[in-house]
Amino acid sequence: MTKKRYILKAETFDSHGRKISEAYNDYRKTHPIQSHFAKLANQPARIFLHAEILAIIRAGEKKIHTIKITNINGKLSSPCPVCMKAIQAYGISRIICT
Ligand SMILES: [Zn+2]
């Protein structure tokens, strides 16, 4: 059985709608922040780098207001539980899924 792999793009914006960062998920990499939230969400296997978390990391110190997630392969209804934890922890107020 092969796991279905998605290509996700995440973009972050400040409260004025200016773009801060963008990222794609990367199945070959991980990051301590990714494993931290994977453990918090009780999904320790989800340690490959998710687009949302990489975009948050790339935003650095900047305050993210909105995160926009695009599923290149189809439609996405919501971020996975791991990314939801991260989005909440960083106080991001708006999530757009396309
Ligand atoms: Zn995720």
CA of 20 to the centre of ligand 1 (A): 19
CA of 17 to the centre of ligand 1 (A): 23
**Which CATH code is given to the segment(s) 8-97?**
3.40.140.10
* Largest pairwise CA distance in the chain: 45
Tell me the whole-structure pTM to 2 decimals: 0.91
3-state secondary structure of 35: helix
Q: What is the pLDDT of residue 4?
A: 67
Q: Would you list the domain boundaries of the chain? A: 8-97
CA of 51 to the centre of ligand 1 (A): 7
The structure tokens 């110190």 sit at: 61
Q: What is the pLDDT of residue 74?
A: 82
Residues with CB under 5 A from ligand 1 (ion): 50, 80, 82-83
Average pLDDT, consecutive stretches of 10 residues, N- to C-terminus, the chain (98 residues): 76 98 95 97 94 97 97 86 97 96
CA dist., res. 21 & res. 16, Å (int): 14
CA of 42 to the centre of ligand 1 (A): 13
